[in-house]
A and B are shown apart, each in its own frame.
Chain A
Amino acid sequence: MSGASDGRARGPGRARLDLASFDGGVRGTHEVMRLDRYRHLEALDAHQPRIVRGGGYSYAAASFGGGAVVQDFRPFDRILALDETTGALECEAGATLGRVFEVCEPRGWYLPVQAGYPGITIGGCIAADVHGKNQLRDGTFSRQVESLSLFHPRHGFVTASAQENAALLKSTCGGLGLTGHIVSARLRLTRLPGATAQVRRRRLDCIEDLLPVLEEAAARATFVYTWQNFTVRGRGFGRGYLYEGDFVPETTRTSDFRCTAIDSANRARYVFQALNGLTTSTFNLAYEALQRMSGACVEIGLFQLLFPVAHKVAYFRLFGRKGFHECQLLIPRQEFARAAVQLREYLAANPVPVTLASAKLFHGERTALRFDGSGVCLALDFPRGAAGTRFANWLDGLARDVGALPNLIKDSRLGSQTVRACYPEYDAVRNALHRYDPERLYRSELSERLGL
């Protein structure tokens, strides 16, 4: 027994813990250090491989594995500065999106680009260079990053910004946590136009409807995404809804900050996989019916808009302990029709219960290993299992065929061959990492699997 203390001899907490990727695809027992003081950053032997872990919501095993000691950085969640006139926010990398929202929203500021669950950390968003609700308009998370403070045992504490160590800033945003420990970040917030948003729904009759409607909506709306039913066969394949929304100006705060807690451990609390061939079709039909019955235009709070997953975590639990695959492909616009035909044909011949299919439009530049560029971002969820794995492997082939980018952070089984084939800068990234860190101290299951 022991009681009040400010630390086990004031050192970091250490334990061997079972960790899993959020999709359930990678599991293992790893040495974990919980850091809650600045001196803990330097507590580990300078030659010991390590990797930083935030909320642990990455679908791929980006924050453990590869023989690295896991450094749990969640206690570093403090807001260091907020300039309410310019919207410049400085925070530690363990600060969650929820914490940033809670502090900034009442003062009229927000991050337009962010991941969909409030427990995800700022460090995680930077390392994965996540995209938000309208990448076409807002770009990826790195667009909001002004500067970073990084720690690396070989280089010490380093500041990276457009003026100072610009290459390091570029390689850290979307760098999968391999360039060092992101300690804090200075971000550029956007003025909040209103505290609620009006969401309009439009029917899509088939997958062929998608591209023109998406292009038209993305050009004018603040956020745009689709929900599509990939369990329907024949002409109706890919039918569903397009959602576009805009802020309602001058509305007052109605945000409810409550969120259902989930993490990679309790996501897998049910042994049974409830989403299968039969239940998924029923589930999708029920969702469609529900959408038909609800109004074509609804007003929702900002929290619900930015964090759509906050109250829908049960969906992830239905995949059970076995888990799920998420494959996210950024398909060039000119190739989307061909990819859609191939998808329709594959799923007609090899039924896979696709529980979620959603598309967004992207515009950007393909650089490094970032999930960025121009095209249609198509996200597909399906249960883990033999059929699911065959489908995921087939999607790798589709990506190569149509010149699509697979999202590294969303897929815990993606192989280095596929990544090397799809990302032209793979070798350049790998070489730069080895030059910056010859010992390759920051590593994970993801980096080892990809041969980085």
Chain B
Amino acid sequence: MTWVVIGASAGLGRALSEELARDGRSLLLVASDRRDLDALAADLRVRFRGEVRALECDVTATGEATEVPSQALADAPIEGLLFPVGAVAEDDNGLLPASAADQLIRINLTSVISIVGRLLPRMLEQRHGVIVGFGSVAAVRGRRRNVVYSAAKRALESYFESLRHLCEPHGITVMLYVVGFMDTNQAFGQKLRLPRAQPTRLARRVCRELGRHSGKRYLPRWWGPISLALRVIPWPVFRRLRF
């Protein structure tokens, strides 16, 4: 039974890979640079003595690239699919050129949809498995910044909700975590109004909850009430907020 981590080489993806390996799970790590993957896979093999495979695949590429994880798995049963994948762009202010916007949408949304689309039929057949996606608190309300990123993450929430409808009757749990500030390169050095969480801590919680429930959770939990408060702010007030 294999756990597939898409976007495994850094940040939350790397932390999740470590936690899964610590639990003795067999892993297929997917990321775009072979050097990062080989180093991570070697580290997990030495430290946790588990079975870890690495697969170089740029999930933002169009067409057949998203078939690669499916081919790499061959006939191995899939225990779980985790998608800690995504990126933001500094100039994502509503005036992003079409190609850059496409790239952001691919990495944050369509890559996930494509890979799930390739592997889901096998999982439905297995009648067993876990799919975990990662949204963002940036998608709670539309803002002046991270325009395309937020739109893609909000679409991802909708996609995961639909996925729950499809998967739950077949014994597959589908979870979407809405993630707040994290201590990764994305937030490095930024002066933030709220604390940033350590990816290792978040990964520990995700792994603890794997397969237990379907639904949507905030990571860390305290982002739940904050998101609710943001959602109920009337537009005339919200448009004046600068964040």
Closest residue on chain B to residue A84 by CB atoms: B46
A13 in contact with B185 (CB, 8 Å): yes
B186 in contact with A5 (CB, 8 Å): yes
Number of interface residues of B (CB under 8 A): 48
Is A82's CB within 8 Å of the partner chain B? yes
Contacts of B88 in A (CB 8 A): 2, 5, 8-9
Among B53-96, those with CB < 8 Å from A are 84-90
Contacts of A14 in B (CB 8 A): 188-189
Closest residue on chain B to residue A82 by CB atoms: B46
Is B99's CB within 8 Å of the partner chain A? no
CA distance A11 to B89 in the complex (A): 10
A8 in contact with B87 (CB, 8 Å): yes
Give the size range of A's interface with the partner: 20 to 34
Closest residue on chain A to residue B86 by CB atoms: A5
Is A32's CB within 8 Å of the partner chain B? yes
Q: For residue A123, give the distance in angstroms from its CB to the closest CB of chain B.
A: 15
Given A1-B138, A36-B11, A79-B46: A6 in contact with B84 (beta carbons within 8 A): yes
| Contact residue among A10, A17, A92 (Cβ-Cβ distance under 8 Å from B39) | A92
Is A16's CB within 8 Å of the partner chain B? yes
CA distance A39 to B32 in the complex (A): 11
Is A78's CB within 8 Å of the partner chain B? yes
Is B115's CB within 8 Å of the partner chain A? no
CA distance A39 to B185 in the complex (A): 14
Is A386's CB within 8 Å of the partner chain B? no
CA distance A257 to B238 in the complex (A): 49
B184 in contact with A17 (CB, 8 Å): no
A3 in contact with B185 (CB, 8 Å): no
* Best-buried of B47, B179, B184 by chain A (most CB within 10 Å): B184
A2 in contact with B39 (CB, 8 Å): no
CA distance A204 to B173 in the complex (A): 69
Among B115-140, those with CB < 8 Å from A are 134-140
CA distance A366 to B90 in the complex (A): 51
B46 in contact with A37 (CB, 8 Å): no
Is A293's CB within 8 Å of the partner chain B? no
B11 in contact with A2 (CB, 8 Å): no
Is B35's CB within 8 Å of the partner chain A? yes
B10 in contact with A2 (CB, 8 Å): no
Contacts of A80 in B (CB 8 A): 39, 42-43, 46
Given A7-B87, A7-B184: A32 in contact with B136 (beta carbons within 8 A): no
Contacts of A261 in B (CB 8 A): none
Is A238's CB within 8 Å of the partner chain B? no
CA distance A14 to B185 in the complex (A): 8
Given A7-B11, A37-B10: A16 in contact with B189 (beta carbons within 8 A): yes
Given A3-B135, A36-B11: A103 in contact with B33 (beta carbons within 8 A): no
A1 in contact with B179 (CB, 8 Å): no
Contacts of A76 in B (CB 8 A): 39
Closest residue on chain B to residue A16 by CB atoms: B189
Q: For residue A175, give the distance in angstroms from its CB to the closest CB of chain B.
A: 24
Closest residue on chain A to residue B31 by CB atoms: A6
Contacts of A37 in B (CB 8 A): 9-10, 33, 36
Is B222's CB within 8 Å of the partner chain A? no
Q: For residue A187, give the distance in angstroms from its CB to the closest CB of chain B.
A: 14
Interface flags for B1-44 (1: CB within 8 Å of A; 0: not) read 00000010111110000000000000000010101100110110
Is B211's CB within 8 Å of the partner chain A? no
- Which 5 residue pairs spanning A and B have beta carbons closest together? A15-B189, A3-B136, A13-B188, A13-B185, A78-B43
Return 24 A-B CB contacts under 8 Å, by A number.
A2-B138, A2-B149, A2-B181, A3-B139, A3-B179, A4-B86, A4-B135, A5-B186, A6-B10, A6-B13, A6-B85, A7-B184, A8-B87, A8-B90, A8-B185, A10-B87, A15-B188, A16-B189, A34-B188, A38-B36, A78-B43, A79-B46, A79-B47, A80-B39
Q: B residues touching A (Cβ–Cβ < 8 Å)?
A: 7, 9-13, 31, 33, 35-36, 39-40, 42-43, 46-47, 84-90, 134-140, 143, 146, 149, 153, 177-182, 184-190, 243
7 new A-B pairs (CB below 8 Å) besides A5-B186, A15-B190, A79-B43? A1-B143, A1-B180, A1-B243, A2-B187, A5-B136, A7-B184, A38-B33
